[in-house]
Structure 1
Amino acid sequence: MIPTYPYYSQMTQCKQVPITFPPQHQNRQPGLEYLMNPVPISDNPEYRGSGKLAGKVAIITGGDSGIGRAVSIAFAKEGADVAIVYLYEREDAMATAEMVAAYGRQCLPIEGDLRRPAFSAEVVHRTLTHFGKIDTLVLNQGVQFPQTSILDISDEQLENTYRTNIFPHFYMTKAALPHLCPGSTIISTASVTAYAGAPLLVDYSSTKGAIVSFTRSLSLQLVDKGIRVNAVAPGPIWTPLIVSSYSAEYVKTFGLETPMKRAGQPFELAPTYVYLASDDSSFVTGQVLHVNGGIMTET
């Protein structure tokens, strides 16, 4: 259910009222959703599923919280079972599994490090063992470490950002592809920063640019196999990544730069992933859909 805190009541007003968050910071990435104030809104009770993904199985990386949790819930509402992959956020992952189960679908939580190529093969194997098939692959894992200067981006940070944000796209796709059939879909989470840039996120935004190119090129490679490949480019979204990467002072104004003068909530993105995973988007591949509160981008 949607929490009844004032942030949501402000969001539902017709006029665009600036919405701010209490200052907060977590010292470890990817961050923990249950510690956030307010907790992100993952489920919209007004969203009614209509069987768009009935009988489907999806793997969702980063599915424990934030955008991944919202997508897991929306997929469950549409009739899909999900395997969610997470690094260490077990309490968040178990909460997501309970939310999926509440809508009558199964959720398989899988803990591990997607920076290891062998783990992707394990994820696919465990999903196939549990569910028997894979229909959709949602590649949603990510980290970011803001730096005011490129000179402050260490070799370790650069490698970690790339190994987390883009390398698993290759590892997971290579592991899952032999088991995907015509009609299957691959959906990545890109970012508005791939198009608008971000002065504090040079390495992060460049990985998101790589995801855009990955999406376009892979879509061309797989179109003859009947597999569609697309991406979603969120703007500022209230997720654990924000409070674990930015200072408490920065968090107070997060999202105010959008024309809507607020950050988005994860549930506002989820229907875009449903669209790209379902037959509603049967003539869509190689595309990036922008959900960013009105920020204009060059596509």
Structure 2
Amino acid sequence: MNKTSQAASDDALQLQRKIQRNIDDIDNKNTSGQQPRAEGAIQAGAVRQPEPPFPRQHLQKPGIESELDPAPRFMAEQYKGSGKLQDMVAIVTGADSGIGRAVAVLFAREGADVAVLYLNEHDDAKETQRCVEKEGRRCLRIAGDVRDSGFCNNAVRQTIDTFGKLDILVNNAAFQEHAESLEDITDAHFDMTIRTNLYGYFHMARAALSHLKSGSAIINTGSETGLFGHEMLLDYAATKGAIHAFTKSLASNLAPRGIRVNAVAPGPVWTPLNPADQPPEKIVQFGGSTDMKRPAQPEEVSPAYVFLASPVCSAYITGIVLPVMGGVTGSIG
């Protein structure tokens, strides 16, 4: 090494050590070795959202939204519609509450008529209908079990008979029940999860397909558990991973027909699903381990569905799994 190169190397070494000393000084002042973080949950939106701790509560399945404390926020008052889905028709499964209800409301605000599918939560579904109609659009309520292909076929037929067409399918209905061990998951438990979360999506997509056309969209609700797994949601995470793969595969299959297929993968969201699953003591800090230190409210997730449903927003997007997780890796609880 010549003298010039040696001098340059020495200068670089001294600069590296100077930088190191500077960071060492900062680390010594911060005994945790980490940058100080703001206390409390991160509030990056237009309104302040609820944050842990939440009241202890455990809801009986399937979970009634009106019994949840605090009430989930789904109206997205700050969201202004602009006709992105004007005069379209959408089916949203699991739309009596939670993400499904929030999606139905924003779809209506963007100009769509909505068929609301749900299991048997009639009062919650009536509230969804009231909110959709308040936006000036029509709403059809259909109760039944998406595990049954016959029900799915009939629901699509009712939608066509009522509205005359179908443009958007949102598969969102889900069953979730934790288990600490694989041995704790009975055949009935596993079958309920697989048939609701996976068969239901398949049945609805197959029933809807002949009525969809170029420019139509299918949006599936996945989950962060389908990306990262979860030690106490073995069956649920497996279905969500399958939904992600189904989304990507169906997107490729339907691309020549101009039908886009995408998924949204939420992190923890304040809906009846989790308080109807997890024990009361875990709900107290629900969502607290995300980067945002709180769960999402349904109104913070629903705009992603509008984006993926609208041809003016996402005409060149198909086969994606869009994470809405409150951080890079999210957290289910």
Higher RCO structure, 1 or 2 (CA under 8 Å, sep 6+): 1
SS of match in other structure, 2:273: helix
Q: Partner residue of 2:88?
A: 56
Instruction: Tell me which residue corresponds to 1:283.
Output: 316
- 1:199 & 1:8 partners in 2: Cα distance? 25
- Residue 124 of structure 2 aligns with which residue? 92
Q: Does 1:22 align with 2:47?
A: no
Amino acid at match of 1:89: E
Return the TM-score normalized by structure 2: 0.84
- Contact preservation (8 Å) 1:20, 1:262: no
Provide the rounded CA distance (Å) in 2 between the counterparts of 1:17 and 1:141: 24
Q: Deviations over 1:93-125 (max 9, x none)?
A: 000000001110011010011111100011000
Distance 2:259 2:144 in 1: 27
The question of whether the paired residues in 2 share the 8 Å contact of 1:243 and 1:251 is answered with yes
Identity of aligned residues (%): 48
| Alpha-carbon distance between aligned partners in 2 of 1:209 and 1:196, rounded to the nearest angstrom | 9
Structure 2 portions without partners, runs of 5+: 1-39
Aligned: 1:236 with 2:268: yes
1:4 corresponds in structure 2 to none
Structure 1 residue 14 displacement after superposition: 10
Distance 1:278 1:10, change over 3 A: closer
Larger radius of gyration: 2
Note the C-alpha offset of 1:23: 0.6
Give the alignment's TM-score, normalised by structure 1.
0.93
Question: What displacement does 1:296 show?
Answer: 2.9
Q: 1:68 aligns with which of 97, 100, 125?
A: 100
Instruction: Give yes or no for contact 1:16–1:261 (8 Å, CA) kept in 2.
Output: no
1:199 aligns with 2:231: yes
Contact 1:233 1:288 in 2 (8 A): yes
Change (3 A) 1:78 1:15: closer
Instruction: Please state whether the residue corresponding to 2:244 is helix, strand or coil.
Output: helix
| d(CA) in 2 for partners of 1:9, 1:196 | 23
Deviation at 1:26, TM superposition (A): 1.2
- 1:248 aligned residue (260, 277, 280): 280
Runs of 4+ in 1 over 3 A off after TM superposition: 7-18
Distance 1:37 1:176, change over 3 A: same
Do residues 112 (structure 1) and 140 (structure 2) align? no
Distance 1:16 1:179 in 2: 39
Any idea what the Cα deviations from partners look like across 1:114-165, whole Å, max 9, x if unmatched? 1111000110000000000000000000011101111111111000000100
1: distance between equivalents of 2:240 and 2:58? Answer: 24
Aligned to 1:186: 218
User: Are positions 1:295 and 2:295 aligned together?
Assistant: no
Instruction: Report the secondary structure of 1:187's partner residue.
Output: strand
Which of 276, 279, 289 is equivalent to 1:257?
289
Aligned-pair Cα RMSD in Å: 2.0
- CA offset at residue 11 of structure 1? 7.3
Post-superposition Cα deviations, 1:34-84, rounded to whole Å, max 9, x if no partner, equal: 111111001111100000000000000001100000000000110000001
